[in-house]
A and B are shown apart, each in its own frame.
Chain A
Amino acid sequence: MLCQNCGKKEATTHIKQIFGGEMSENHLCRDCASHLGYGDMLPGFGLNISQLLSGFAGDFDLPAPARETLRCPKCGASFGEIVSTGNVGCSECYHTFYERLLPIIEQTHGKSRHTPSHSSPVKEKEKTKEEKIAALRLEMSSAVSREDFETAAALRDQIKTLEGGETQ
């Protein structure tokens, strides 16, 4: 299929959109997609990543039939299935196929390591009670300094609850 924008090159990016009251799919070549702001379109925003995954598998690591015997112990997905659909099956797939997914991750993001935020809920769960209380105190003083007393009071209650749990 040719690109709907330039009509010259093969369309590789497919974008689902609602336009004029209808669901439409737009097909663009790599250059036009990039030019129109869809060069890095991601699933949920449009691009089918299976092409990227397939491209990688073709360049580096086409799953040979023998290797297909490796399946994710949690969901049963093979690397070939992940490549053909563009969908990873479960969290365990990332461990099972980590080495083979890593080049794709690097290609997509330009990086391969997550930068965690200190306020992320997952990190929050791992914090000790003392760390949580210290963070809340800091937030409370900042709320007081901007005269947001409602927030400050709520934070004070949270600190009290945490401290109460400690003494029990």
Chain B
Amino acid sequence: MTKWYNTVGEAGDIVLSTGIRLVRNIEDFVFPCRLDSEGRQKVSQLVRDIVFDAFPDEFCYIETDTLTYMQRLSMAERNIISPEFAGRDDKNGLILSSDENTGIMLCEQDHIRLQTIMPGLCPEQAYEYAGKIDKAIAEKVKYAYSDSIGYLTQSPSDLGTAMRCSVMLHLPALSDMGRLPRLARSIRSLGFSIRPVYGVHSRTPGDFYSVSNRITLGIDEKTAVNNLKSITSHIAAQEHNAASLLIEDEAWQDRIFRAYGILSTARLLSYEEFMQLISIVRFGSATGVIDVPLEKTNMLIIGGQPATLSVIKGVDDTSTSRNAARAKMVREVIRER
């Protein structure tokens, strides 16, 4: 399968990806916060053997101390691992599918943190796939589980299904029209939350947002997955309406072509400028104003992230080198026919 960010799935003009994350612990071992290095190794070995046995040739095993800090940061930028996992210098196990869309972080916050990402809006398929791996592991080990509070996790906030389902959305029109705060309130009242993917508060370049379930206890997996799908479809419909109004405005069309002009000619592109411009060009592509394939914009959004740029293009981690390498990559990709 292709990496999620190199392709476009269902409702791909707005939904970049769908993710499912399952957290599990093995009954025979104490949780990672109290597990010694020997125990961590045993858990990692056990899970690795089960997954390799059940899915031969689909996964590889990486010990994170063999990666550079920049490689780990890049994996976090590509949503393969969590920022916490990327920040750890010690030896940790990671099971990763060859397309990098599915990964299992071992002994991170919990023994098993399995996540799978697929392009577009496809929570059922992503859940089904993650469920297959979950089931294969469950057949060989006893999970820490209680009938009353579900899967037992290191943090009480993950109890219950211990599942997060999420989508990554591009919402430039709703954002421009100032409709996001109201939308966020409605989403929250439905047990979900919306937040920026890149940046937290004042620095949020681009209009990329993640919507995920807040609650894991008292709601079963299928309901959570179905709710995510309906909420996302509802947001997508609102974004479509807002977008159709915006693109009638000549000033917006001008913004799109100007952004394209800069991206296809600039020699230096800072991260924040790039994210703002690629978001505008992606909007132009999604609405048919400009002829740039969405696949290219998705690939550039991930490829233009600073650590990923350093790793892929082999440039040092100074902003000058990165800005030049980013501008060159963007020019080449965006002009290519």
Contacts and interface: CB of A to CB of B under 8 A. Distances in A.
B238 interface: no
Interface residues of A, number: 58
Interface in B235-292: 271-272
Contact of B152 (A21, A94, A112): A94
Interface in A22-55: 22-23, 26, 28, 32, 35-40, 42-45, 47, 49, 53
B260 to A, nearest CB: 24
Nearest to A48: B155
A104 B29 CA distance: 24
B299 interface: no
A87 B209 CA distance: 29
A44 B82 contact: yes
Given A49-B155, A111-B217, A19 B109 contact: no
Interface stretch (A59-67, A113-121, A129-137, A141-149): A113-121
A91 B215 contact: no
A49 B160 CA distance: 17
Given A88-B156, A91-B152, A18 B200 contact: no
A101 B76 CA distance: 32
Given A21-B305, A32-B201, A110-B218, A91 B159 contact: no
A74 B84 CA distance: 27
A111 B219 CA distance: 9
Interface string A69-86: 000001111000000011
A36 B73 contact: no
A108 B157 contact: yes
A23 B193 CA distance: 23
B150 interface: yes
Interface in B211-225: 212, 214-223
Contacts of B202: 5
A38 B195 contact: yes
Nearest to A37: B195
Interface in B11-27: 23, 25, 27
A23 B73 contact: yes
A74 B156 CA distance: 18
A138 interface: no
Contacts of A77: 34
B186 to A, nearest CB: 13
B83 interface: yes
Interface in B96-144: 108-109, 113, 131, 134-135, 137-139, 143-144
B145 interface: yes
B196 interface: yes
B314 interface: no
A18 B218 contact: no
A105 B159 contact: yes
Contact of A121 (B143, B198, B306, B309): B143
A58 interface: no
20 contacts: A16-B83, A17-B83, A17-B199, A18-B86, A21-B307, A35-B184, A37-B194, A37-B195, A38-B195, A38-B200, A39-B193, A44-B82, A47-B157, A87-B33, A88-B153, A108-B156, A108-B217, A109-B160, A111-B218, A124-B138
Interface of B: 23, 25, 27, 29-31, 33-34, 73, 76-77, 82-84, 86-87, 108-109, 113, 131, 134-135, 137-139, 143-161, 164, 181, 184, 188, 193-196, 198-203, 209, 212, 214-223, 271-272, 305-307, 309-310, 317, 322
